């Protein structure tokens, strides 16, 4: 059992609200269709000139204030994102600069929508060896990589960031257990084909739309339904808890209809599932820490409550964390 605790959380979303009718217009769908398929009603999109690091730094500052920790006390910054400011340097470097966290080791993690759980596990391990405090941030600006005419993807995503401050303390939410999975044989299900060394971004790739986010929706849904419930049950068993012990479920905010199916399959009889997708849609790596922060600020968690966090998405990947509030 780890002594690393979550000392504070924070979140940030851009000001611009994009309704279902607005986002669906170019894709040929309306509010009724999007609501029925996803349970999403609106999302936030970044302003021109607003990058992933800007959202991440704002969420991080809110988390630092909640924790009562100054940026000078941060020794590690991990940013989970699949929409970095640039291919290099790491987006975390820009967050470090903006916060003034001089001397902090700063790096990115790309496990797509499972990213914040991977980042949490990595930061916890680093702190267990070197001490200090860490910022774990999930942030994405998906609005920049969506094909406006693709109704399978454009209606699903919003922009945002969420953050957690980790550190040793006699109080705070204890990170009791984490577990990570990757299934590379299904890596083709979610991808941005162009922009890397395999297929550089050039005139031909942009003309072909290969710089856009792509997803084989039916196969992704099948992956989530077939893999997530048994993996989660295995995780709880290895963590030494039973489903009755869980009071809260904080999943990646992929799709509200899909989450209802997953929650039913998990059979957590005393748990409440937390969702923010109605307001923010799927914010990628931001969705778990953003939802955790929302629930925490609403007073949903009480001392001793066990929280199951589940991330899943491109890779294909899945990550779980057990938090004792």
Is 312:114 a contact under the CB 8 Å cutoff? yes
The average pLDDT across 38-59 equals 97
Query: Mind listing the pLDDT tens digit for each residue in 95-107?
Result: 999 999 999 999 9
Check residue 192 and give its pLDDT.
93
**Measured distance CA(279)–CA(40) in Å, rounded:** 7
The average pLDDT across 102-120 equals 96
Q: Count CA within 13 A, CB hemisphere, residue 121.
A: 19
Task: Tell the CATH topology of 1-325.
Answer: Peroxisomal Thiolase; Chain A, domain 1 (3.40.47)
Q: How confident is the model at residue 242 (pLDDT cuts 50, 70, 90)?
A: very high
**Measured distance CA(211)–CA(207) in Å, rounded:** 9
Query: Mind listing the pLDDT tens digit for each residue in 14-28?
Result: 999 999 999 999 999
DSSP 110: -
Q: Is 147 a catalytic residue?
A: no
Q: Is 302 a catalytic residue?
A: no
Q: Which of 20, 58, 113, 274 is catalytic?
A: 113
Q: Which of 20, 58, 255, 282 is catalytic?
A: 282
Check residue 103 and give its pLDDT.
92
Domain ranges of the chain: 1-325
The average pLDDT across 308-323 equals 97
* Cα 32 versus chain centre, distance: 26
Q: Is 133 a catalytic residue?
A: no
Q: How confident is the model at residue 1 (pLDDT cuts 50, 70, 90)?
A: very low
**Measured distance CA(14)–CA(44) in Å, rounded:** 6
Using CB atoms within 10 Å of the CB of residue 15, give its burial: 0 to 12 exposed, 13 to 18 middle, 19+ buried: exposed
Q: Which of 181, 248, 252, 279 is catalytic?
A: 252
The average pLDDT across 198-203 equals 90
DSSP 155: T
Q: How confident is the model at residue 4 (pLDDT cuts 50, 70, 90)?
A: confident
Check residue 71 and give its pLDDT.
97
For tokens 């910022």, the residue is: 135
């Amino acid at each position: 059992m780890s002594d690393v605790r979550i000392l504070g959380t924070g979140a940030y979303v851009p000001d611009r609200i994009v309704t279902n009718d607005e986002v669906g217009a170019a894709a040929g769908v309306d509010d009724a269709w999007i609501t029925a398929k996803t349970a999403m009603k609106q999302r936030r999109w970044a302003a021109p000139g607003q990058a992933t690091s800007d959202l991440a730094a704002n969420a991080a500052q809110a988390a630092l204030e909640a924790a009562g920790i100054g940026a000078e006390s941060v020794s590690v910054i991990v940013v989970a994102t699949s929409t970095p400011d640039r291919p290099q340097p790491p987006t975390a470097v820009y967050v470090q600069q903006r916060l003034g966290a001089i001397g902090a080791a700063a790096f990115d993690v790309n496990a797509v929508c499972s990213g914040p759980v991977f980042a949490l596990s990595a930061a916890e391990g680093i702190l267990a060896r070197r001490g200090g405090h860490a910022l774990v941030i999930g942030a994405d600006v998906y609005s920049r990589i969506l094909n406006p005419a693709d109704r399978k993807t454009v209606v699903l995503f919003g922009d945002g960031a969420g953050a957690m401050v980790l550190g040793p303390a006699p109080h705070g939410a204890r990170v009791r257990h984490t577990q990570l999975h990757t299934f590379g044989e299904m890596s083709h299900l979610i991808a941005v084909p162009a922009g890397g060394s395999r297929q550089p971004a050039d005139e031909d790739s942009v003309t072909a739309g290969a710089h856009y986010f792509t997803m084989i929706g039916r196969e992704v849904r099948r992956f989530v339904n077939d893999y997530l419930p048994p993996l989660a049950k295995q995780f709880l068993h290895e963590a030494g808890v039973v489903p009755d012990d869980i009071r809260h479920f904080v999943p990646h905010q992929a799709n509200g209809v899909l989450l209802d199916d997953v929650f039913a399959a998990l059979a957590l009889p005393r748990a409440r599932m937390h969702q923010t997708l109605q307001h923010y849609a799927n914010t990628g790596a931001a969705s778990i820490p953003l939802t955790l922060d929302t629930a925490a600020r609403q007073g949903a968690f009480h001392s001793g409550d066990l929280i199951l966090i589940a991330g899943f998405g491109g890779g294909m990947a899945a990550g779980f964390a057990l938090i004792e509030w």
